[in-house]
Amino acid sequence: MSDIDYKEKGSILNPLKSLQFFARKAVTEPLEPRLASLSYRGFHLNDWELCIGCSSCQKVCDNAAISMIEIPGLPSDPLKGVRNQRPAIDYGRCCWCALCVDICPTGSISLSREYVHTCTQEEIDSYFILPDPNGIHKKFYGYGWRKVADSDLLNLKRGEMGERSADQRSDNFDEIVDGYSLEQAVAEASRCVQCGMCHDACPTHMHAPEYIRAIWQQDMEEAVRQIYRTNPFSHVCGRICTHCCETACSIGRRGDPVAIRWLKRFAMDSLDHETVKAIAAQDKVDYLSGKQIAIVGAGPAGLTAAFDLVKLGHQVTVYEAQAEAGGMTRYGIPEYRLPFDMLDQDVDVIISLGVSIEYNTRIGVDIELSQLQLDNDAVLLALGLQLGRSTRIPGSEHAQVTKAVDLLRKIAADEAFDVPRSAVVIGGGNVAMDIARSLARLQRQQYGESRMTLTALEDLAHFLADPVEIKESIEEGIEILDSRGPQACEIDEKGRLIGLRTWKVLSIFDEQHRFAPSYDESDEQLHAGEMVIEAIGQMSDVSLLGDELTERLEWNRGRLQVDEAGRTSEAWLWAAGDCVNGPDVVHAVADGHRVAASIEAVLGQQETDHES
Amino acid sequence: MSHEGEGHQIGYERLQSKKSLKEILEVATEFERTARDFYTALIPNVSKRIRYLVEELATEEQGHFDLFNELAANPSIENEIERAVAVPVSDSRFSDCIQLPDLGENPDDQTVLQYALGREQAAMEQYTALAESTESGVIHDLFVFLAREETLHKQALEKLYYEVVHSGGV
C-alpha cells in the first residue's frame, strides 16, 4: 500500500467547485428501468403449455445454470414425450447467452426485456427462479431474444432415406430401404439434442442418445456397444421397430423426429459380424452356474431372455417348433421389410454366446412341458401370436379362405402353394398390408400382374397399419377399400370361391368409442377374388400347456397371468412376449430382459437358501 | 342342451301367446334364468383361459334374473300386472336366440361371444319393440328401462369382442 499515493492533497477550495452545479437544470431519471431493446437478453420466460420438460436447455447450458424441477400435477407421459419437469434458472450462474432459447425444441423458452432484480440478503434465493410466461416479477415487460429461424440451433428436416421405387420393388422381395451413408448418418445424428425422451419412451430403454452421439463421433463400435446394452435384436429393430422413440423425440415437436431407427440400422450395418459378436460377448461371465433353463419359442422374447441368461453362466436350451429361429419376425414379416440374413445375424450373435436351439421341436408333441419342468431349473414360455382369428362370416370355412399369418408363414418358409390370380384381404393392420403386398409380388412374378384388394372396417384415417405401409401398398397397386364390413365369402354353384361380399360401414364405434359397427346394407359390393385372406387379429396357441396345467395356472382375461417380473402362478414357469404382452418386437425384447432378470433373481435366491 | 332348447321353444310360443304384463315378465324372467343356467353349465366345459368370459355372462344373466324378480315385486308394477299389453310380433332373431344352441364340446371365446351378442341383440330389439307398442306410463317406462339395460350389456360385449377378436393383428 505504501507505494500508492492514496492521500489526496487537492486544493482547499475544491468543495467550492460543486457550487458550479447549482445553476444547472437537474437531470432526473425514472425509478422504473428503461425499456430494453427488442432483442434484449433479459430474464427468462417459459410457456409451460409448450414446454415438454425435455431438458435440452439444461444440457446445452455451459454454466450449469439450469436445473430441471419436477412439478407435481403436471402431465408426464414418456410415450408422448412429455415430462413433468420445468427448467429453473440460477441467475448466479446464468450469463444470458440464450443458448437455451436457441436450442429449445418447442420454442417455449424466450428471454424478456426485463433486467432489474434486487433483494436483501435474506431473499437471495430469489435469484433462483422457475420461469413462467409472466416474468420474474409477474409483470410482462415484453419479449426480448426469441427463437427465430436464423438463431435456431435445430435442424428440423430429417435426412432423406433412399428407397426403391414402386416399379423397382413390386415384383421382388428385395429390401426396400437403402440405409444411410456415413455422411448421411453423421448429419442425421447431429440433429439430436440428447434430451433422452427416446430412452424414456423405448420399452427396453435403449441408450439412443449415447449411440447417436457415438455415430456422430463416427465411433461405430461404441455405438454398437451402447445398442447391445439393451437390445440383442438390433438388426431387426433397426429395420422394423415400431420406434416409439421417434414419436417421443422432442425434435418432432416442430420438425421431423430424428431417424433413430435408421441410425441404429446404420451402426449395426457398419460393423462386421465378428466384431458385433465380440462386443455382445464382452460382459459374459467366465464360469458356469450349473443351472439349466428351457425356453419355449425362439422369437425375440425367448432369445432375448436366452441372451441375458447365457451371459450369466446358465445353460440355456431354446425349443422352437419351426425350422428356423426368429418367431414372428421371420414367419410374419416379409423379407422386403426385414431381410432374413439380417435376422440371421442377430440370432447368430445369441447362439455364439452358447445358447442351444432345438429346431422343429414342438412342445406338447415332441416333448412334454412336464419333462422340461423335470429337466430344468426354470422354464420360460415365449410364445408368439401365431394363430389367426377368423371373421366366421358365412363361407369363411371354404378351403380358399385362409389366415394371413398362415400364408405369411408359408411364404417365409418357401413352401409351395397355388398363388391366386386375384385375392381379397380383410383387415387394416400391418399384417393385412404385409400379406397383400407379399401376394401381389408373387402374382407379378407368376402372372405378370397383380390383382389384390384390401378391405377394412375402419376408414383410411383410422387404419391400424403404419401410414408408410398404406402409402407403399397403394404405390404397389393394392386396391384399398376402407369402411367395408365383410358379410360373406361368396361361393358359386360349383363350390368355387368367387370373392368377398361387403357392406358399407357407417360407423364402427358408438359415442363412447365402443365397438358397435353399423352398416348401409343398400351399399353392397362383391370384391372378386380366388382367395380371401383374413387378417383381423391373432392369438397364441397355448394348447401345449395341456388341460391339467391349464387348470392349475391362473389366467387374466384370456392371457396367462404373470407378475410384474413375468412369473406365472407356477413357481417354475415364466411367460414373456406376445402371449402375455405385445405385440411388437421391442416390447418382446423388453419382456425378455425383465423375465431373465426375474429368473436370475429366483435362481440366485435358491442358491443362497441352499447354501444356508 | 337339446332338451333345454325344446323347453325354450315352448317358452317362446308362450311369450307370443300371452297378453298380460305378468305373463310377459314371467317369460322374460324364464328367458334370463335359462340363459344363466346355460352359461353356468358351460363354465366347466370351456378352457380355464376363457372361463372368465362365461362366468361374467352367467353373473350378468343372474343380475337380469334378479332384476326381473324385483320388478315383479315392485308395487307400481304389481298394480299393472294384469294389464293387457299388445305384444309385438317378435322378430326372427329373437326366435333364434331364445333357443339355446349347442356350442360344441369345448367352445372358444369367439363362439361364446358371438352367441351372447346375438342373444343380447334379440333381447334389446324385443324390449324396444315392447316399449314402442305401449302407451306412456309405468309399463312403457319399464320396457324402455329393460331395452336400455340390454343395450348397455350388448355394447359392453361388443367392446370385448373387438378387443378379443380384432386384437394382436397390427
E-state strands within A224-314: 292-296
Of the two residues A262 and B70, the one the predictor is more confident about is A262
Summarize the confidence of residues A477-488 as an average pLDDT.
96
The class of domain A44-129 in CATH terms is alpha beta
Summarize the confidence of residues A36-59 as an average pLDDT.
96
The pLDDT, as a whole number, for residue B1 is 35
Summarize the confidence of residues A456-460 as an average pLDDT.
92
Q: Is the model's pLDDT at B128 over the cut of 90? A: no
Cβ contact A404–B48 (<8 Å):
no
pLDDT band of residue A14 (cuts 50, 70, 90) is confident
List chain A domain ranges.
44-129, 171-280, 292-386+542-611, 388-538
3-state secondary structure of A560: strand
Summarize the confidence of residues A245-253 as an average pLDDT.
97
Query: How many degrees, rounded to 5, is the angle at CA B135 between CA B134 and CA B138?
Result: 90
Summarize the confidence of residues A325-354 as an average pLDDT.
97
State whether residue A539 sits within 8 Å of chain B by CB. Answer: yes
* Nearest C-alpha neighbor of A102 from the set A189, A41, A184, A187: A41
Architecture of domain A388-538: 3-Layer(bba) Sandwich (3.50)
Q: Say if residues A109 and A45 touch (Cβ distance below 8 Å).
A: yes
Instruction: Give the chain B residue nearest A560 (alpha carbons).
Output: B49
3-state secondary structure of A119: coil
Among the CATH numbers 1.10.1060.10, 3.20.20.120, 3.40.1360.10, 1.10.357.10, which is that of A171-280? 1.10.1060.10
Summarize the confidence of residues A528-546 as an average pLDDT.
93
**Other beta carbons within 10 Å of A51:** 23
Distance from the A535 Cα atom to the nearest Cα atom in chain B, whole angstroms: 7
Closest Cβ opposite residue A555 in set B48, B155, B156: B48
Q: Say if residues A595 and A305 touch (Cβ distance below 8 Å).
A: yes
State whether residue A544 sits within 8 Å of chain B by CB. Answer: no
Amino acid at B113: L
- Please report residues of B whose CB lies closer than 8 A to that of A514: 155-156, 158-159
Q: Is the model's pLDDT at B124 over the cut of 50? A: yes
Distance between CA atoms of residues A46 and A50, nearest Å: 8
State whether residue A255 sits within 8 Å of chain B by CB. Answer: no
Distance between CA atoms of residues A177 and A185, nearest Å: 14
Q: Say if residues A539 and A344 touch (Cβ distance below 8 Å).
A: no
User: For A108-149, how does the pLDDT look when each residue is reduced to its tens digit (9 = 90+)?
Assistant: 999 999 999 988 999 989 999 999 999 999 999 999 999 999
The pLDDT, as a whole number, for residue A349 is 98
Same fold, A171-280 and A292-386+542-611: no
The pLDDT, as a whole number, for residue B6 is 43
Distances (CA, A) of A584 to A299, A332, A426, A498: 11, 11, 21, 34
State whether residue A551 sits within 8 Å of chain B by CB. Answer: yes
Summarize the confidence of residues B25-37 as an average pLDDT.
82
* Nearest C-alpha neighbor of A131 from the set A96, A90, A95, A84: A90
When mean pLDDT is compared across A217-221, A395-399, A431-435, A541-545, the lowest value belongs to A541-545
Cβ contact A536–B110 (<8 Å):
no
- Please report residues of B whose CB lies closer than 8 A to that of A553: 48
List chain B domain ranges.
2-165
Distances (CA, A) of A24 to A13, A14, A18, A21, A460: 20, 18, 11, 5, 81
Q: Say if residues A154 and A191 touch (Cβ distance below 8 Å).
A: yes
Q: Is the model's pLDDT at A11 over the cut of 90? A: no
CATH superfamily of the domain spanning B2-165: Ferritin, core subunit, four-helix bundle (1.20.1260.10)
Q: Is the model's pLDDT at A415 over the cut of 90? A: yes
pLDDT band of residue B162 (cuts 50, 70, 90) is confident
Distance between CA atoms of residues B138 and A408, nearest Å: 59
Q: Say if residues A391 and A534 touch (Cβ distance below 8 Å).
A: yes
Summarize the confidence of residues A30-57 as an average pLDDT.
92
pLDDT band of residue B93 (cuts 50, 70, 90) is low
Strand partners, A424: A453, A532
Burial letters A560-597, b for 16+ CB under 10 A, else e: bebeeebbbeeeebbbbbbbbbbbbbbbbbbbbbbbbb
Provide the mean pLDDT of chain A: 94
Radius of gyration of chain A (CA): 32
pLDDT band of residue A401 (cuts 50, 70, 90) is very high
Distance between CA atoms of residues A445 and A431, nearest Å: 21
The pLDDT, as a whole number, for residue B90 is 52
Summarize the confidence of residues A485-500 as an average pLDDT.
96
The pLDDT, as a whole number, for residue B130 is 82
Provide the mean pLDDT of chain B: 76
The pLDDT, as a whole number, for residue B81 is 73
**Other beta carbons within 10 Å of A511:** 7
Burial letters A137-174, b for 16+ CB under 10 A, else e: eeeebeebbbbeeeebebbeebbeeeebeeeebbbebe
Q: Quick one: how far is CA A386 from the chain centroid?
A: 23
Closest Cβ opposite residue A431 in set B162, B165, B169: B169
- Please report residues of A whose CB lies closer than 8 A to that of B47: 550
Whether the CA torsion A482, A486, A490, A496 is positive or negative: it is: positive
Summarize the confidence of residues A170-185 as an average pLDDT.
97
The pLDDT, as a whole number, for residue B91 is 38
Q: Is the model's pLDDT at A227 over the cut of 90? A: yes
The class of domain A292-386+542-611 in CATH terms is alpha beta
Collect all residues from B whose CB is shorter than 8 A from any CB in A: 47-53, 109-110, 114, 155-156, 158-159, 161-162, 164-170
pLDDT band of residue B97 (cuts 50, 70, 90) is low
Strand partners, A355: none
A208: left (phi over 0), alpha (psi -120 to 50) or beta: alpha
The pLDDT, as a whole number, for residue B74 is 81
The pLDDT, as a whole number, for residue A518 is 86
* Nearest C-alpha neighbor of A152 from the set A100, A112, A194: A100
- Please report residues of A whose CB lies closer than 8 A to that of B110: 389-390, 392
Q: Say if residues A260 and A208 touch (Cβ distance below 8 Å).
A: yes
Summarize the confidence of residues B132-142 as an average pLDDT.
82
Instruction: Give the chain A residue nearest B153 (alpha carbons).
Output: A514
Q: Is the model's pLDDT at B169 over the cut of 50? A: no
Distance between CA atoms of residues A406 and A531, nearest Å: 13
Give percent above pLDDT 90 in chain B. Answer: 6
Q: What is the DSSP string of A167-199?
A: HHHTTS---SB----HHHHHHHHTT-----HHH
Q: Say if residues B48 and A555 touch (Cβ distance below 8 Å).
A: yes
E-state strands within A482-514: 484-491, 497-509
Cβ contact B155–A510 (<8 Å):
yes
Radius of gyration of chain B (CA): 16
Of the two residues A215 and A581, the one the predictor is more confident about is A215
